[in-house]
Structure 1
Amino acid sequence: MREKHYCTLSERSILESALPKLHPSTSKWRRYIREVRKILLISEHNPRTKARFRSRESVFTEAKRHLKESKVTMHPFSLLAMYKDIVMLITWYVYFFTATLYMTLHWESRVNCARYILYALKPILGVHIVMSFFMGFYNESGDYVEVRPKAIAINYLCGFFILDLSLFICPEVGHIYPDLFVYEGILHLLIFFHIPSVTKCLRVITLLLDLGNSVHELTSLVSTSLMLIHFFSVLICCYPEFRTGFHTMSNTSWVMLAGVPPKSNICGFRKYLVCLHKVCAMFLGPCSGMWNVRDLDEIIIFIIIILTGMFYMAYVTALVLQMSLSIRSSGNLYKHIIYQLTYYCRVKKLPDTITKRVKLYYSTRFKEKYFRENLILSTLSQHLQLELKLHNCRKILRSTWLFQSLAPSVVGRIIMQLETLIVLPNDLIKDHKSPDYIFFITSGEVAIYTKDGMELLHICDGDYFGEISVLSNLNLLESSEVNKSLSYVAVYITELLVMRKETFKHHVIQHPEALHQIIERAKIRNLLNQERIHKFNVKTKGVSRKVLSRALKRRASTAVYNYS
């Protein structure tokens, strides 16, 4: 049975906050400020973090970047941001339906509780406005998170600030100036423009519940449809009341024919149901419903509703067809392969641990959507293949100095020959028996062990290993017993790029300057490993070597990957 990786090193740089450690004599006030800063930084517990960042090291790097650029702003993938999105999702729903229904019930003489609900939501809206000036945002075009205070403030002022401020003050308009209730109603209808905010907050809920993109899209469509129908129902319900303030309603108006005239004692909820029936008939139909429309201004309003409904339903139909086709093509193939895999494991009587690990590999490799990558790439031109490879390897190219020391044309040829490898937790990636490969960590974390089971250190995104063995194998570097004794074990699910010895020999050796830098760096890393092993030997002097040698066997598998 496989045992988990039990780390013997300090993982403060990964598990704890990126904030500097405080002195034991630090005051409670400074400790409190530090705890507040922790909840403002990016968190692994925010579901949006897992969707954007693939490893814990990348999360830690993002936290360090956030602290470097600003110490007062809130990261959009922090814990506080997650709780704010959940609260605001509930707030937007309550405000949307309460404020609009309050407009239909206001004409009644009896008191209703809608205004009190709106007053109860005012503190939440006020806090939301203040926090929005300090909460970062994800820039889709630049593919990065903006946390600079000035950029955040400008983005909010140019975005939803005027809308949020209008919603915050609109309950006071009708309370202080009752004659201006019509304008208060118009301000209430501005909540319609917050539908994208509702969809964004809804994404957090679907990620927390671990639902797929298809479920999120369907949930967003249902939510948007209900809000649109409700919005138009309230609009045509309040329009006759607004119109009677300027001229008398004609007897040919559809509200007169429906028996719900304005300024009457008819129940407001009954008026709303009649308007809801009318909107559903025209928005989803379209048809005129039970009552025909004859007045010119009403005809214009219903033409807008019909056109909006037609375009929206066309969009929904296209989106649903696209989702169904993608699910059938890739999702069903993936499920079919998993079914075959399950049947194969059952026939071969494989242990549950192996079956789970194989399924975990398929889930990580294909993201529950099966596709033939080699077949797809083979249909593309060589230039497009290179662009895709460069995009997928962009983080490695930015963080690994080995590529930065080579010419762009050489890097392009090397990238085209790199192979992708996914390893599961506790798998042995490399030992002294596999000296012909250099590994680049795209995402994940790898632990380095000695033959005695000593854990030297962890390496993460952007790091690489195996170059010392390749250089020694090519007689470019003196062979080291220390390097031969090292083994590399995956701590988490890790994605690697593999460079063969032949690729290194063909492309890198022809550039003496870059090769000289690689050899010098390899010598330095070899000396650092020797120093770490020497310190460990001093600490464990007198301890039985048999006890230490069992550690690697307990923590990693005995299988070595064959890349040929």
Structure 2
Amino acid sequence: MHHKCTIATGGKLLNNLHWTQKIRLVSIDNPLRYSYFRSYIAVAEEQIRHLKTNKYVIHPFSKFRAWYELFLIYLYGSLLITKPIDGGFRIRHTNSYHYYTLFTDVMAWVDIVINFFTGYEMEGGKYIELRMWSIAKHYALGPYFLLDAVSSIPKSSVYIVAVDRRELLLFLGIACLSGLFKFLRLVSLIKCIKNTAEYFSVATQGVLFLIGSTIMTLMTIHWMACMQFAVPRIRNYFNASDLDTRMASWYYQGNLYYKPFTEQYTHCFFRSTAYFLNIYLSVYKMTLPEEYVLAALTYGLGKIIIAFIWIILAVAIINSRYMNVKYAELTNQLDEYMAHKQLPVRLRNSIKQYFLFKYRNRYFKEDVIVSLLSENLKSEVSLHICGSLIRNVALFSDMTTTEVSKMVDYLIPEIFLPNDIIIQSGSHADCMYFLNSGTVAVYTRSGKEIDHLQDGAYFGEIAILLKNETRISTVVAIEISHVYRLNKRDLRKYLLTNKKIIEKLMKNAEKKYNTIMRLEEEYKTLLLEKSLLGVEKVSLSPLSNDIE
């Protein structure tokens, strides 16, 4: 049952707030808050503390922050793409691009302002700092404020402050160089993706790891491609008078300076990729010291990224195959055990068949996992596991959901291999069985096969219900059969308290008992006639379809 609370729990202080204030408080729906606030009352207390401390501060676990981080994915992604392009290339005749970069720079300053109003998690403690002065001090003295401010200066602003061409080139060089500091926000982009995915429950940890690694790799390649143009260009800004060095640059030698941006970027991408992979391309010559340094740096980063990619692939493969590896390890130990005990081949094959059916090539510690679950979760898991059994056994249709949920907790799963005896005639009756999957054969005491039971059938109840106490038939597995055992004590406690169930069970048990006994007498007569008269074939009456 899904609970939707309709009782006000926060008092007048919380219930009379405007929606713009509520979205800045810690949200009960934010899964990120569980590390700090695990209950409704803890969330309510944090909301009250927030209002009393500073109502204008944005809580890091609020709805506003969750949706704002979704916007930050777009903003940081845009800045990480455009900043190296601004530093390395001259985009001509594209006013829309310049307007877009100006917009992202303005939004970057808005982000700086919002950071001064956003609380933060205290390191090493379960506490959220909401005091304005502490927040401002933490951000201003931290690693991001200065870099955010410097890298968010619009490049077009240098044309306002520059007086002559020399100053213009100097300021352009500073603007291009400062914009490159935005690369440090790559970590923040990955964090925002992780938080957003967790808030909206759209990806697993493995998928997030793969997405984050891919973004880091692509962004690094993009930045190093832009640096192929940015390094010599920034050098020319600070040393514009050195024309010989400028003309010796690789992009002047390749006649790329006046080419369109797409062609320039394509050449830069191939050049940086060649350095990444340690591939020599004769078309790109290196003459200047900074070009050699950049090539060495790109090569080093390439080796690191390639190693990182291999590690990611190895981890992904190991994680996806971990259960199979554990199962292979278990089967290896099993082989050593059977060899040490000198078990016969037939028994070894039976044991392997049992393990294969039970674990299906994936080993897991079921007892440990189940022990960690709450009682309610255990009941839900049991209901789900026994779902096909509940649907197939007509007997359960007369039971309420509560009765079924209580009973399935006491069903004991068992696996029987072909030719395994499940019930032996003449043995003491202490349980009954429900057949989840497989096929079993029913025999009389004299050994006459009288019926086959399949999915959804149940057997073993006759001796319990009719006070016989001893089994009147033998049940043998024909194929691998998955059954659930219900002990006599639990049978009386959870099944025999329902009048409809009692009537149906007793009626079927009496019918089965009479049919089995009749067929048993007929078979005994047949055997007697064979022994006395030598009769080889005697026709029997048709078998009933509802035999045990």
CA contact (8 A) 1:73 1:134 kept: yes
Where 2:245 maps in the other structure, the secondary structure is coil
Aligned partner of 1:185 in structure 2 is 176
> Which residue of structure 1 lines up, in the alignment, with residue 112 of structure 2?
129
Distance in 2 between the 1:18 and 1:307 partners? 60
So what's the TM-score if we normalise by structure 1? 0.52
With a CA cutoff of 8 Å and minimum separation of 6, indicate the structure with the bigger relative contact order.
1
1:407-450 per-position Cα deviation (integer Å, ceiling 9, x unaligned): xxxxxxxxxxxx8551338979xxxxxxxxxxxxxxxxxxxxxx
Unaligned runs of 5+ in 2: 163-167, 328-361, 381-548
Q: Secondary structure at the match of 2:152?
A: helix
Aligned residue in 2 for 1:312:
305
Alignment of 1:475-554 (within 5 A): none
CA distance in 2, matches of 1:276, 1:129: 32
The answer for the alignment partner of 1:117 in structure 2 is 100
Q: Verify: 1:100 aligned to 2:96, yes or no.
A: no
Q: Is 1:12 matched with 2:11?
A: no
Q: 1:39 aligns with which of 5, 9, 23?
A: 23
Aligned counterparts of 1:5 and 1:198: Cα–Cα separation in 2: 35
**Alpha-carbon distance in structure 1 between the residues aligned to 2:306 and 2:376:** 44
Partner of 1:211: 203
Equivalent AA in structure 1 for residue 20 of structure 2? V
Q: Secondary structure at the match of 1:169?
A: coil
Which of the numbers 140, 145, 148 marks the counterpart of 1:164? 148
Structure 1: stretches of 5+ with no match in the other structure: 23-30, 335-368, 377-418, 429-564
Q: Helix, strand or coil: the match of 2:121? A: strand
TM-score scaled by structure 2?
A: 0.53
CA contact (8 A) 2:108 2:152 kept: yes
The 1-side partners of 2:119 and 2:324 are apart by 35
- The verdict on how the C-alpha distance between 1:265 and 1:63 changes in structure 2, with shifts beyond 3 A counting, is same
1:125·1:168 contact (CA, 8 Å) conserved in 2?
A: yes
Deviation at 1:214, TM superposition (A): 1.0
Structure 1 position 218, deviation (Å): 0.9
Distance 1:182 1:143, change over 3 A: same
**Which residue number in structure 2 is paired with residue 511 of structure 1?**
none
1:163 positional shift = 1.7
CA contact (8 A) 2:323 2:363 kept: yes
1:156 and 1:313 map into 2 onto residues whose CA distance is 35
1:539 — aligned with what? Answer: none
What amino acid maps onto 1:216 in structure 2? Answer: L
**C-alpha displacement of 1:124:** 2.1
Contact preservation (8 Å) 2:88, 2:231:
no
Q: Structure 2 vs 1, CA of residues 271 and 165 (structure 1 numbering), >3 Å: closer, same or farther?
A: same
Percent of aligned pairs with the same amino acid: 22
Q: Which residue of 1 aligns with 2:293?
A: 300
Residue 308 (structure 1) shift: 2.1
Look up the SS of the partner of 2:279 in the other structure.
coil
In structure 2, what is the Cα distance between the partners aligned to 1:100 and 1:286? 23
Aligned residues: 331
Of 133, 141, 149, the match for 1:150: 133
Q: Contact (CA 8 Å) 1:44, 1:50: kept in 2 or not? A: no
Inter-partner Cα distance in structure 2 for 1:5 and 1:267: 59
* Higher-Rg member (1/2): 2
Cα deviation 1:75-111 (Å, max 9, x = unaligned): 1111110111111111111222233323444264x34
| Contact 2:232 2:249 survives alignment (8 Å) | no
Q: How does 1:148-547 map to 2 (within 5 A)?
A: 148-157=131-140, 158-176=142-160, 177=162, 178-179=168-169, 180-207=171-198, 208-245=200-237, 246=239, 247=242, 248-249=244-245, 253-260=249-256, 264-283=257-276, 285-290=277-282, 291-329=284-322, 372=365, 421-424=373-376
- 1:144-172 residue CA offsets vs partner (Å, 9 max, x unmatched): 43333333222211231112222332334
Q: Which amino acid aligns with 1:201?
A: C
Kindly provide the amino acid, as one letter, of the partner of residue 250 in structure 2: W
Q: In structure 2, give the amino acid aligned to 1:305.
A: T
Kept in 1: contact 2:155–2:172 (CA 8 A): no
Note if contact 2:151-2:180 (Cα within 8 Å) is conserved in structure 1.
no
| Deviation of the 1:137 alpha carbon | 2.1
Distance 1:308 1:18 in 2: 57
Going from structure 1 to structure 2, the CA distance change for 1:300 and 1:111 (only over 3 Å counts) comes to same
* Native 8 Å contact 1:5 1:426 kept in 2: no
1:231-287 deviation per Cα after TM superposition (whole angstroms, max 9, x unaligned): 111111122223345222377653345442xxx42223211110111111222x122
Counterpart CA distance in 2 for 1:312 and 1:62 is 43
Query: What is the distance in 2 between the residues matched to 1:102 and 1:308?
Result: 22
Between the aligned partners of 1:49 and 1:56, the Cα distance in structure 2 is 11
- Report the alpha carbon displacement of residue 46 of structure 1 after superposing the two structures with TM: 3.2
Change (3 A) 1:190 1:41: same
